[in-house]
Structure 1
Amino acid sequence: MALLMSLQAFGIDAMLPALGQMASEMGAADGNSRQFVIGAYFLGGGFGAFFPGAFADRFGRRPVLATALIAYITLSLACALVTNYTALLVLRLVQGVLCAGLSVVPAAIVRDHVGGDRMARLMSLIMMIFLLVPILAPAIGQGIMYLLGWRAIFGAMAVMGTLVGAWVWLRLPETLQDENVQDIRAPTILRNMGRALWDRGAIGYVVGSALVFGSLFGFLNSSQQLIAQTFGMGEYFALIFGGAVLGMVAANFTNSRIVERFGARRVSHTALFVFIAIAIAQLVSARQQPQSLAEFIVLMSLSMAMLGFIGANFSSIAMQPFYHIAGAASSAQTAVRMSTGAILGAVIGNLYNGTSVPLAGSMLACGLLALAVVLFSEHGKLFRRVNREPEET
């Protein structure tokens, strides 16, 4: 599951060091327009996530993964050959749509096996391995760009997709149980997705994670400009970016060790309050010009660490009631998270003005809004311990 999700991360983070050169070579004049290579992929993934879950509930997890992997490989090669910037953005958008199954199906497979706090623990372990990619991918992308040019990064994506596809073909069993097969009819799909989104106990966690990860997407979109232009450290981009992400790895490992003891709600609610407090500190630091790079990286790393406690736990809480429709539920919830996060990330990234003030202010706003929607789902009562076994009826 970590390898499958890592393909999506590599398709985003390996691009980051090459955005400036890519946009310049293809004549993209506006400095912020380079972010669209990332934003188009995010947006396509958000829209595309509506579809693979229903097919995975009908035909099984493996066929949907195979289709997404073939699209990942083929469109990576197409991106490597394109010569027009607009065409590149279109291909990235289509790639995001067709490869959304790589984000949706792994969560459904995990839910096929476990639920509740145990699912949160397993997702944390998966995320811990998965997050090694954002740490390493910029350095890999930067090395490939210097040796072979930025187009070879897309070739590396195709190679990775081929290797993971071979593993899926040989080693991954089908996890959809016969009794959980769903009709591939529009009313059934819409009903199942509606259940996954309109359940009061789930929707706050879906929207809440979309908001906080939207602020993360804003950082991803503008990170190359922030590090290279604001702080003048472009040659060390991969090292600095990796350092910022390292906090998420540590947080996911810690979460996997404590979540079954304290409960996903208690851990994630605490992390959300800490995220808001750090965002306030980020805004104060950002408004002091010139801002220290050390302050920026430390605070950003701490914020991303809190996302490590929020992400897996929010996702597990939202998926808990939907054992029999795990594919459709994962589709609907991932689609809302990804599309909302992509739009927010694009807006936040486009606010870049040479400082980190827009990013810090956006993270604070997103954290406060996330707290509001979680309070809605929890009927105003936070830090509760809820013990429910996977739904069986």
Structure 2
Amino acid sequence: MSFVLTADDRRDPAVLPYFEFVAMIALLMALNAAAIDVYIPALQDIGSALGVTDENKRQFVITAYVIGFGGAQIFYGPLSDRFGRRPVLFAGLGIYLLGAVAAVFVPTFEALLLTRLVQGIGAAATRVIATSVVRDRFAGARMASVMSLVMMVFMVMPVFAPNIGSAVLYFGDWRELSGFMVLFGLVALVWSWARLPETLNPADRRELRIRPVFEAFRLVLTNRIAACYTLAMAAFFGALFAFIGQAEQIYTGIYNVGPHFTIYFSLVAVFMAASSFANSRLVARLGVKRLSHGALIGFTTIAAIHLALAIVFGGATPFPVFLTLFIVMMCFFGFVPTNFNAMAMEPLGRVAGVGSSVLGAAQTLGGGLLGGAVGYLYNGTLIPLLSGFVGLALVSVICVLVAERGRLFGA
């Protein structure tokens, strides 16, 4: 069943319009961004309410979700290749909603972490299915363009989510915030149930047996392009997760901007979203590799300059310098994820579901663990974060060099 309108099927009510398709996939991806970013302004309140005195441990509210989200993706791919995209998506959203409802009533910090883990496990289905559905219908630069539009919405969510969290906290507490995420999940479930068609061709369904599943994993892991770009993404996402975990501590602890720090956090996210949108327009003209490789080098360079300046200023640059350099880095960031993901998925059309699972699990779980480790090193300065940025970006560069046999900016 096709849902991209053509002259032949424009009047077919079963066909999902292109705009609605992109919006729906973007919403499924945005659920994950919201589940992470909406809690950022609530970390201090959660710690106070549940007796967590170590500020760095409060970051585990973010990390627990990311670990569940990353690790569970590896299972959804084989399931979606066997049973189809729709039933696996709905099962995952059901698990997410169970965890989100339970989070409203938890009595302890440990119980909250468990519910966040469950939420991540369920929401992992949305990431796998969203990527698989796009890969079912598109390839090459067209797939990168579609994913750029999807990622633009995904990246806009950090603009709104922390401010939504702050608004909810103004009228209630972090438990009402958990209730808001229940509503978000319900919207995603109802809309996709009513409108998203099955995109997996019945002839392409794979048997759910150990040998075929391991064979699919072997195809993913032994493909140099797919494996190396996946590792590059894991390292690159580690930098993003490290910043998300430390954001409140940096803005309120180092720069003393108070509870309105979400405005500055959103400002950085605006530029990241804008660069992702620009990527959807530039990728076909400049090329996937040229654009993403250049952005990766730019991010690494600015991060190194920022680290050097932070050392010169005794641990933290003046706030205007900090904000400017972070905006520049996040502009570069917006040109990397969708293009790297498209290049990693390109060789995996025959095993798109498993490919999406392996890629998503490695990128998110690896990035979450690396980012969590960097975040936990916070010491009241920018040095640990920026050192992590430089180190992880260099790892990403090395992985890309291996993928491309030492040649960057290729056709």
5+ residue gaps, structure 2, are: 1-24
Is 1:55 the counterpart of 2:87 in the alignment?
no
Which residue of structure 2 lines up, in the alignment, with residue 336 of structure 1?
Answer: 362
| Percent sequence identity over aligned pairs | 38
Which of these residues, 294, 297, 300, is aligned with residue 273 of structure 1?
297
Which residue of structure 1 lines up, in the alignment, with residue 186 of structure 2?
Answer: 162
Which whole-Å deviations, capped at 9, do the CAs of 1:261-293 have from their partners, x for residues lacking one?
Answer: 121111111111101111112102322135211
Q: Matches of residues 14-163 of structure 1 in structure 2 within 5 Å?
A: 14-163=38-187
Which residue of structure 1 lines up, in the alignment, with residue 318 of structure 2?
Answer: 292
Which whole-Å deviations, capped at 9, do the CAs of 1:107-141 have from their partners, x for residues lacking one?
Answer: 11000011111111111111112222110000000
Which residue of structure 2 lines up, in the alignment, with residue 5 of structure 1?
Answer: 29
Is 1:257 the counterpart of 2:295 in the alignment?
no
Which of these residues, 165, 178, 199, is aligned with residue 175 of structure 1?
199
Q: By how many angstroms is 1:357 displaced?
A: 1.1
Q: Matches of residues 373-388 of structure 1 in structure 2 within 5 Å?
A: 373-385=399-411
Output the CA distance in 2 between the equivalents of 1:359 and 1:17: 19
Output the CA distance in 2 between the equivalents of 1:292 and 1:183: 58
Contact 1:319 1:329 in 2 (8 A): yes
Amino acid in the other structure paired with 1:222? Q
Q: Matches of residues 297-308 of structure 1 in structure 2 within 5 Å?
A: 297-308=323-334
Output the CA distance in 2 between the equivalents of 1:285 and 1:100: 38
Contact 1:285 1:295 in 2 (8 A): no
Output the CA distance in 2 between the equivalents of 1:167 and 1:94: 22
Output the CA distance in 1 between the equivalents of 2:81 and 2:146: 21
Which whole-Å deviations, capped at 9, do the CAs of 1:294-332 have from their partners, x for residues lacking one?
Answer: 211221122122121100000000000111211000001
Which whole-Å deviations, capped at 9, do the CAs of 1:184-204 have from their partners, x for residues lacking one?
Answer: 112211211221122012211
5+ residue gaps, structure 1, are: 386-393
TM-score (norm. length: structure 1): 0.96
Which whole-Å deviations, capped at 9, do the CAs of 1:76-122 have from their partners, x for residues lacking one?
Answer: 11001101001111111122122211111101100001111111111
Which residue of structure 1 lines up, in the alignment, with residue 238 of structure 2?
Answer: 214
Q: By how many angstroms is 1:22 displaced?
A: 0.3
Which residue of structure 1 lines up, in the alignment, with residue 346 of structure 2?
Answer: 320
Q: By how many angstroms is 1:35 displaced?
A: 0.1
Contact 1:42 1:339 in 2 (8 A): yes
With 133-142 and 192-201 compared, the bigger mean Cα shift is at: 192-201
Which whole-Å deviations, capped at 9, do the CAs of 1:35-87 have from their partners, x for residues lacking one?
Answer: 00000111111111111111111111111111111122221110011010011
Contact 2:95 2:118 in 1 (8 A): no
Output the CA distance in 2 between the equivalents of 1:285 and 1:57: 49
Is 1:241 the counterpart of 2:287 in the alignment?
no
Which of these residues, 364, 369, 381, is aligned with residue 390 of structure 2?
364
Output the CA distance in 1 between the equivalents of 2:271 and 2:379: 26
Contact 1:285 1:296 in 2 (8 A): no
Q: By how many angstroms is 1:160 displaced?
A: 1.0
Contact 1:252 1:308 in 2 (8 A): yes
C-alpha root-mean-square deviation of aligned residues, in Å?
Answer: 1.0
Output the CA distance in 2 between the equivalents of 1:300 and 1:68: 35
Output the CA distance in 1 between the equivalents of 2:261 and 2:70: 27
Is 1:186 the counterpart of 2:210 in the alignment?
yes
Is 1:353 the counterpart of 2:397 in the alignment?
no
Aligned residue pairs, count: 385
Point out 4+ residue stretches in structure 1 off by more than 6 angstroms: none
Which whole-Å deviations, capped at 9, do the CAs of 1:234-270 have from their partners, x for residues lacking one?
Answer: 3212101101111211111111111011211111111
Amino acid in the other structure paired with 1:321? P
